[in-house]
Amino acid sequence: MGDVMDDIDRLRDADAFASREDVLEEALEALLERQPELRTELAVTKYTDSSVSLNRAAEIAGVSPEEFKEILDSRGIARDAGFLSTEEREKKLEEL
């Protein structure tokens, strides 16, 4: 892993990128383009840890919200219906 970080720093130092994050962002975009199935994995994990909404997760995966719901169902992942009790809503807000 050290060689990878060295290469990232070299690209940044050569003014090819402004920061390590820029290098990693472009590398991730290229990886997701080469291996589109990873988009679905990324979308599912972001959805299940509540980082993104169902619609945003579907967008990341490159599918419709209905198709994304089917993906979640096929994996046995429960979805919030969007209606929470006051107590549940307050708990979720505190977790943010």
Domain positions in the chain are 1-34, 36-96
At 91 the pLDDT is: 79
Say how many C-beta atoms besides its own lie within 10 A of residue 61's C-beta.
23
Which pLDDT tens digit goes with each residue over 31-76? 999 999 999 999 999 999 989 999 999 999 999 999 999 999 999 9
Which pLDDT tens digit goes with each residue over 75-94? 999 886 666 677 877 877 78
| Residue 96: pLDDT over 80 | no
Q: How is residue 45 written in tokens?
A: 């994990």
pTM (2 d.p.): 0.70
Which residue in 18, 32, 28, 23 sits closest to 61, CA to CA? 32
